Every structure is written in C-alpha cells, then in structure tokens.
Amino acid sequence: MTITAQQRADFERDGFLVIPDFVSPATRRTLIDRATELVDAFDPDAEGSASIFSTHDQTQTSDDYFLASGDRVSFFFEEEAFDDGGKLRQPKAQSINKIGHAMHDLDPVFEPFSHSAALGEVARGIGMVDPLVLQSMYIFKQPNIGGEVVCHTDHTFLWTEPVSATGFWFALEDATTDNGCMYAVPGGHHLPPRKRFARAAAGGTTMELLDPDEYPMDDLVALDVPAGTLIVLHGLLPHLSGPNRSPRSRHAYTLHAIEAGAAYAPDNWLQREPGLPLRGFEPSVA
C-alpha cells in the first residue's frame, strides 16, 4: 500500500486521509465473525463487570475494569443497554458498545491484521518514522442504541511529547449519516489541544481543560464511507460520531499508533504491563 505524494499532502492539509478498498470483503467477514465469537464467549457475570462506555459521563470511564483494559481484551456496554433495574433491554450481542484495548496483540485473528506490512506502509507514508501500535478497539455502533462519541482528539487521551498519536479506522460495514458515521473538522489538527484525559493521583481519571475555546463545529464534514475504507486520523484532528438510531449496525475496527521516539505520558489512562511491550508493523515485502 503505497501512499502517493498527493495523499501525503492531503493528510497534512486536512488531518485525515480516506483510503477506499483497504480491507477486502473476505477480511472484513473474518474480523466481524471473530468479534461475534468473542462477544458470544464473554460472560459479564463471571468477569464481575457491566462496564459502560460513555463519552458523556466521565465516571463511567473511570472504573477499575476500564483502567485495567490497556493490556487485555475487555468488553463495554452501550449507555442505553440497561433498563432502570439494571437488566439488559435486548440480547448481549446487541448491547455491547466495543471491545478493547489490546486485541491487536492478544487475539490470533486481529493480531496479524493489526501489525500488517500494508498498514505499516500507510503509517510511514503519512510521515510516521517508527510507529508502535498502542491500542485497538472493535466498535459495534449497535442498531437503535449506538452511542454518540462527542467531538475529541486522540491526543487528548493518548498524550505524547511531541504529538504522535495517529488513528487507523477501518469501516467493516458501510458508515453513513444514518447509522453514525464519523465527522471531522478539516484542518482542525492545526489547532491547539483543548483537553487532556489522564489518571488522577487519587484514583480514577480527570479531564483537564487546557483551552476553553470550542472546536469550529460549523466546519464539520461527514466521512460517509463504504465498507472496506480506511480513514487515517491525525492525533490533533477534532472528530466525532453521531448516535445510531437506524436499524443497521456500523461495525468498525480502529487502531492507534504512536512514535517509538515520543515520550508517552506516565499518567495516560492506558497503561500496559512490562511483559507486553509495544510492537510495530511487519517489515514491508520487497
């Protein structure tokens, strides 16, 4: 997968790059089937967890289960998955928001895809020097209850000096304005970071306000893309996704990589045990 000079220029101008047909239909089917297997095998009662993923309620992303997920394969429910009595409104398979955050290293199906030479070519093609894969998420965006992801930048959550967090977002199903596609602010990566999410000294997490200015939401563009598309995201690019109120899911797989030479903040929420060091991509095939 060779990135052209024009694609590199587009990425530097806009802060994102859309690459159609990156993931083949067969590979998409393999990843979707594997995610289904993982959810089927997940027993929240056995794990003692009903962790909910939310970008609205910070306390719901500060529990021990979430903070320990940086080097595990963990499961998080949609905000609207449970009724007032704490019971699932619909089957488990239609209630999970995402799986994260170390599938790229721990799962035998997601691992080779996540570290592929083709993806390494993309990373280096947009300017990364020595990329290491830090985080992975399988996002379901469930029909009818798929949660909104508010406007944010990846650097806010994966802070390095200098900025190096880069997102690789793979549409495994069509992502449309009806089922919660992404939106981005072209050129917004030239703006300073607004917030920083980190572990709090007393436990849990904190969201530090760095700049009170709002992102220019009037400049948002919809990244409405067909299945198989890869979207590359600069760490400072403001982006979001709307809720899914349609009857169709919007499965996606996403990775975040950082530069090996960048300083990873010791109070970043995502931490890994020393026995699971970060890895890069497979060497390119000549």
Is a pLDDT exceeding 50 seen at residue 59? no
For domain 5-264, the CATH superfamily is q2cbj1_9rhob like domain (2.60.120.620)
Q: Is the pLDDT of residue 45 over 80?
A: no
pLDDT (mean) for 247-258: 98
Rounded mean pLDDT of 241-268? 97
To the question of pTM greater than 0.85 for the whole model, the response is yes
Q: Is the omega angle on the peptide bond into residue 274 within 30 degrees of 0, that is, cis? A: no
- Between the alpha carbon of residue 116 and those of residues 1, 82, 110, the distances in Å are 11, 38, 10
Q: Where are the domains of the chain?
A: 5-264
pLDDT at 221: 98
Peptide bond into 101 cis (omega under 30): yes
Distance of CA 206 to CAs 49, 137, 193, Å? 22, 22, 16
For residues 123 and 281, is the Cβ–Cβ distance under 8 A?
yes
For range 23-40, the mean pLDDT: 98
Flag whether pLDDT at 62 surpasses 90.
no
For residue 68, the one-letter residue type is A
Residue 80 has pLDDT above 50, yes or no: yes
Q: In which band, very low, low, confident or very high, does the pLDDT at 137 lie, cut at 50, 70 and 90?
A: very high
CA neighbours within 13 Å on the CB side: how many for 240?
19
Burial of residue 133, with CB atoms counted within 10 A of its CB: 0-12 exposed, 13-18 middle, 19 or more buried: buried
**Average predicted confidence (pLDDT) for the chain:** 93
DSSP labels, the chain: -PPPHHHHHHHHHHSEEEETT-S-HHHHHHHHHHHHHHHHH--HHHHT---B--SS-GGGG-SHHHHTGGGSEEEEE-TTSB-TTS-BSS-GGGTEEEEEE-HHHH-TTHHHHHT-HHHHHHHHHTT-SSEEEEEEEEE---TTTBPPEEEE-HHHHS-EES---EEEEEESS-B-TTTT-EEE-TTGGGSPP-EEEEE-TTSSEEEEES--PPP-GGG-EEE-B-TT-EEEEETT--EEE--B-SSS---EEEEEEEETTSEEPTT-S----TTS--B-PPPPP-
Token pair for residue 102? Answer: 């170390």
Determine which of 38-52, 71-85, 143-157, 230-244 has the lowest per-residue pLDDT on average.
38-52
Q: 92-102, pLDDT tens digit by residue?
A: 999 999 999 99
| Residue 44 predicted with pLDDT over 90 | no
Q: What is the pLDDT of residues 214-236, one digit of tens each?
A: 999 999 999 999 999 999 999 99
* Model pLDDT for residues 172-223, shown as the tens digit of each residue: 999 999 999 999 999 999 999 999 999 999 999 999 999 999 999 999 999 9
In this prediction, residue 87 carries a pLDDT of 86
Question: Is the per-residue pLDDT at 58 higher than 60?
Answer: no
- In the numeric block, the tokens 């398979």 are attached to 93
% of the chain beyond a pLDDT of 90 = 85
pLDDT band at 56 (very low <50, low <70, confident <90, very high): very low
Per-residue confidence at 1, pLDDT binned at 50, 70, 90? confident
Place of tokens 């280096």: 124
d(CA 169, CA 239): 12
